[in-house]
Structure 1
């Protein structure tokens, strides 16, 4: 059955006409969009965009959560400031605060280690492996059995791909499990911080301006990828040399104007365009409100526990920044759902689909009933997972649980271990456990855990995972847990890697003991998740095949939801109207920085920046229409989280900006694309170059890049 469903999708690709600028397209789909690309004025051949070995796609890289691109043949990578933030924070101290003051390496020797979590992934090969994942699966398998068979096949495909240890491979699902592609990426693990402007430039406006427009933020930073002298990825070493990238983007300072076409390439994280009305209502009414409440409370605890201590503030800066970003996006989704009833829109679409399926669908007659049942089960286990997260919301407990789970999984042959706990994952586990020393203070963690336990106790008892309540420490027992544990010490924390489960069971460390006691109850939730996922993986692909056939019959776009794989989107520089009588965009300028600057966080403009603006030292970066230097601009490109740092290119494939955000009204695009108000926000490359030249004097980097300046 699956073979007959999969093949039409491969043929469909993007055959249906694109709708406005909607669509996060797989590169191989671009040749089928030639007319759309030509319509908006893109001159790069679609075949080049489909070929990962050709310009410009060969210059686009992932940072494992953000996007980036090579901008020199010596491994120089440009991305967002917030994407390089962990590397900036890692190297910052109260005495050398690179967050507040910025950092510039004038020589290669001055570049700073990004840390074990800072990686560069270069995608080299993408291949359809759907048959190898799905062919021959018995229809009589339970959900758990089916899920485990699929996982086993995926692990075998990954192991085959990673026979060369220079590569990191993955087999993500597309169209909610209808197709699977194997992604082969060169993983560069010696990545260094090269340049980041002051946070007063890189995060001007802070959380207040996050997702807002107008914006005036220089959200950019530079990293450099290093490899061994043989040109292959190597562990960090002073002997390593800059990676010789196969390609890099030429930077264009010629600029854009309203209506100009743009291409955007990167690694968007997750969208939910094909989810059902019931899934939207669950997110709107249950999941997102719970998440907002939890994050808001946690941020309040961190603020109180770090108040007045600069070292604590530095340690939790990245944690707070990330949490605030998730919070504002989640609240924005709720506000978006309130502003436009997307569930009601989906109700209409769902009714139309179900009527079409009854008349034209060739699949199972029980598909729609099966679909509703598996989605209901998914919601139920999701509630238990949320509760379990609250019950274990401590960095030390999370570390202990990870270590004990690793010990148990290492008793099995590597191929039979759970994904995330194979030998290929140990270095990542070590990196996470090591990274904790930069973002952890015992007293702060204790305060966070105490508050989380209180929140857990207030949740509906029906969603408490069975057996967990009796195992949790009382709030007045936390002092003893934190006083007597050794897991706060990085070396002692890492020393647990490699120990067998019996060593954990005999340990007198209170957090290790708690992790051991909780294992069975927590694992039961994991087992329920496998059963649910297996049933979702059985039913949802059948649904998606039918949806794609229906959409094709309507001439609507067919592209998979974002899943952190390389995608291309396109659009134009465009203003928008968020409400009646108001039009915004599409450019902001450096004068707006002075208008917003108050001298207080987060609206502090460095003196060197203010002086350059007041003196109008704009040089070649002055826009002929605006009469000044543009800072940020809007486009109609289809983006989401993970697209941060994505290259924004002009019609010739030259770098003209960096994606970093969306407008507040656009946040619900993860669920529904509304072309009238959906806008992505980008750093104008002219502002980046101007700051580098006039403010931070990064002349060495300006010389290293290939920059096309406007004709005089």
Structure 2
């Protein structure tokens, strides 16, 4: 199906991809928006939208929807909090959670919320710091200037301010994004998983859909709900057919501007191995879930992530294997290279960039397995190991000047790191034995049983034996133990007898060496030459192009619109009544008992889920969908199956964003879940 549509799109001269683009808020396509929809966003409107949008630091989007710090995001974005607050005795994932009073709102152990407040161009400072440098020297200089710029931006307010140096256009521009940091985030409402993920994996990335994929949080400061000036109240009517709508969110990563050789490496060393790994992990989790009710509860979240990721990577791989897409990529790259070759001034400075990137791809391929398994720690899939590596490296890195540290340990990043490290979320030893044993097995398989590093780690033990011994002997599940090791620094780490601390200490030199080799031999070369390719694009197009997604705030505009799927018209809306018609009483198509109890009170004709032409990608989950008045008309939670290729390109005829209708949210929150007070708060203008 995707090949059919892609070939058709590429065969039509002058095809208009009107809604394409994940635009930074300081460079919106105002002329295009005016020409297509008769709307030009003013400066006050853009500033209000920026301050009303939010980011969950762990990888999702969100928005402020009341003056009292009420925040809206997806259920699957807050699921980790819901799970961490659950237990064998009270399963909030299955039963749902509702705080009828402010004092019943419960703090999430690990959710940090960020609100973008300022964008500053620092391109010249970054490029000056790295000018004339290569390899390790380039990487060191770039890390140092990034640390300095972010530290200067944060100043003395690290508890409430976060600053990130953002690489745009693959090095064409560098901006500092200054955020307000909210670390006291509390759970207000989460419906039952059966409602939030109705249809399960069969419906995932499909449409029609009937999901109430929403959670409400609230941010607090100084023990009180935060006072929010810029927020999005709910629209009275919600999204209408053909209405112009905007999505402000944090798209994670796209690869639309990578070179052909980079795309091939991503396909072969990223997508294919990841799909195989997820396939095996899914089988292990399904088997583990059958061993008892508590095992099923613990495996549930892992399975959701595995199944979701598998569909995403499968869709991306199918797109990468599509000859029509690769043909278009080849034509685009060749056209840009011809443009550079036609300009002597550009040819001298930029002409060798593509070949330089091509040359380092072999090194990238050779390093992919050790980098993944050891350098990035996928061979040690355990919360205990993650804590241990954080503690070991933190003790070493914090003794260095800020500009010489690994980026994740700079002063600007410390608050988020400490929130994770000191989290009160429970760690479950039996579950950890399963994940760690499997990851060690896969590390041995991919690196070889005779590999010196594998022998160093496992010795004479089998992976499951080694994992069990580590977990049975560790105390790192206790946040007080972790805090004592963190505050104790190098002396505390050196004197610790914890087996995970000893493991992290033993393997860290090798892990750092792999990381350093990749950064200097591959990453630095790609970064430096990608900057040159970005300069070529600027010379050809100016700033009329949008940058690849970087998990930073972007705006997409589009309209409410269905699509034609091989001659079948897909209507843009579903209804609440359609959910009851789809209900079979058996998972994953079983509506909760609370819905059946309230059915007679519900407006079954109320639009439930709908689709738009907005251009989104993973990370946009939880993004608000707003109208021209800055009012909530929907909540993004998914894309259709065609949108999975959105990492590499966008086809406005079939790529669709899937959202929960604002009217369905208020209808069900009030009539099913007894949240009338929250409805009043959300609809107050």
Report the TM-score when normalising by structure 2.
0.90
Question: What pairs with 1:307-318 in structure 2 (closer than 5 Å)?
Answer: 307-318=290-301
Change (3 A) 1:105 1:407: same
Residue 226 of structure 1, aligned match among 213, 220, 234: 220
Partner of 2:336: 353
Question: What pairs with 1:426-505 in structure 2 (closer than 5 Å)?
Answer: 426-435=414-423, 437-438=425-426, 440-459=427-446, 467-473=453-459, 474-475=461-462, 476-501=465-490, 503-505=492-494
Partner of 2:627: 650
Partner of 2:9: none
Residue 142 of structure 2, aligned match among 150, 172, 176: 150
Partner of 1:590: 576
Partner of 1:232: none
Partner of 2:397: 409
SS at match of 1:420: helix
SS at match of 2:540: helix
Answering whether residue 32 of structure 2 is matched by residue 36 of structure 1, we say yes
Note the C-alpha offset of 1:661. 0.7
Map Cα deviations across residues 144-176 of structure 1 (whole Å, 9 max, x no partner): 111111111111111111112321111110011
Q: Output the CA distance in 2 between the equivalents of 1:265 and 1:301.
A: 37
Residue 24 of structure 2, aligned match among 8, 11, 26: 26
645-654 vs 312-321, greater mean Cα deviation: 312-321
Runs of 4+ in 1 over 6 A off after TM superposition: none
Change (3 A) 1:582 1:18: closer
Q: Output the CA distance in 1 between the equivalents of 2:388 and 2:661.
A: 45
Residues matched between the structures, number:
659
Note the C-alpha offset of 1:537. 2.1
Q: Output the CA distance in 1 between the equivalents of 2:287 and 2:422.
A: 25
Is this contact kept in 1: 2:353–2:530, CA < 8 A? no
Q: Output the CA distance in 1 between the equivalents of 2:323 and 2:564.
A: 15
686-695 vs 699-708, greater mean Cα deviation: 699-708
SS at match of 2:642: helix
Is this contact kept in 1: 2:337–2:351, CA < 8 A? no
Partner of 1:518: 507
Change (3 A) 1:597 1:28: same
Q: Output the CA distance in 1 between the equivalents of 2:332 and 2:451.
A: 36
SS at match of 2:27: helix
Change (3 A) 1:61 1:18: farther
Partner of 1:421: 409
367-376 vs 193-202, greater mean Cα deviation: 367-376
Note the C-alpha offset of 1:662. 0.6
Change (3 A) 1:174 1:306: same
Note the C-alpha offset of 1:306. 4.1
Q: Output the CA distance in 2 between the equivalents of 1:90 and 1:510.
A: 25
Partner of 1:368: 354
Q: Output the CA distance in 1 between the equivalents of 2:593 and 2:489.
A: 57
Partner of 2:234: 251
Question: What pairs with 1:4-153 in structure 2 (closer than 5 Å)?
Answer: 19-30=17-28, 33-41=29-37, 43=39, 45-50=41-46, 52=47, 55-64=48-57, 65-115=59-109, 117-135=110-128, 137-139=130-132, 141-153=133-145
Where structure 1 has 5 or more consecutive residues not aligned to the other structure, the ranges are 1-16, 229-239, 623-627
Partner of 1:669: 646
Is this contact kept in 1: 2:252–2:550, CA < 8 A? yes
Change (3 A) 1:576 1:63: same
Question: What pairs with 1:232-247 in structure 2 (closer than 5 Å)?
Answer: 240-247=223-230
Partner of 2:531: 541
Residue 672 of structure 2, aligned match among 674, 695, 699: 695
Note the C-alpha offset of 1:338. 4.1
Q: Output the CA distance in 1 between the equivalents of 2:658 and 2:323.
A: 22
Partner of 2:277: 294
Is this contact kept in 1: 2:197–2:211, CA < 8 A? yes
Q: Output the CA distance in 2 between the equivalents of 1:496 and 1:469.
A: 28
Q: Output the CA distance in 2 between the equivalents of 1:186 and 1:169.
A: 9
Map Cα deviations across residues 616-649 of structure 1 (whole Å, 9 max, x no partner): 731xxx7xxxxx1111111110111111111111
Change (3 A) 1:510 1:611: closer
Change (3 A) 1:686 1:138: closer
SS at match of 1:244: coil
Answering whether residue 622 of structure 2 is matched by residue 634 of structure 1, we say no
Note the C-alpha offset of 1:526. 1.3
Partner of 2:554: 567
Note the C-alpha offset of 1:245. 0.5
Change (3 A) 1:107 1:471: closer
211-220 vs 254-263, greater mean Cα deviation: 254-263
Q: Output the CA distance in 2 between the equivalents of 1:522 and 1:600.
A: 47
Q: Output the CA distance in 2 between the equivalents of 1:110 and 1:502.
A: 41
Change (3 A) 1:427 1:577: same
When the two chains are superposed, the root-mean-square deviation of aligned CA atoms in Å is: 2.5
Note the C-alpha offset of 1:592. 2.2
Change (3 A) 1:465 1:653: farther
Is this contact kept in 2: 1:24–1:560, CA < 8 A? yes
Q: Output the CA distance in 1 between the equivalents of 2:238 and 2:320.
A: 36
Change (3 A) 1:396 1:59: same
Q: Output the CA distance in 1 between the equivalents of 2:318 and 2:581.
A: 28
SS at match of 1:568: strand
SS at match of 1:498: helix
Note the C-alpha offset of 1:365. 3.9
Q: Output the CA distance in 2 between the equivalents of 1:635 and 1:429.
A: 37
SS at match of 1:398: helix
95-104 vs 486-495, greater mean Cα deviation: 486-495
SS at match of 2:399: coil
SS at match of 2:130: coil
SS at match of 1:28: coil
Question: What pairs with 1:178-327 in structure 2 (closer than 5 Å)?
Answer: 178-228=172-222, 240-327=223-310
Is this contact kept in 1: 2:195–2:213, CA < 8 A? yes
Q: Output the CA distance in 2 between the equivalents of 1:707 and 1:495.
A: 46
Q: Output the CA distance in 2 between the equivalents of 1:392 and 1:704.
A: 45
Change (3 A) 1:135 1:477: closer
Q: Output the CA distance in 2 between the equivalents of 1:347 and 1:616.
A: 57
Q: Output the CA distance in 1 between the equivalents of 2:420 and 2:265.
A: 32
Note the C-alpha offset of 1:460. 5.8
Partner of 1:394: 382
SS at match of 2:502: helix
Is this contact kept in 2: 1:302–1:444, CA < 8 A? no
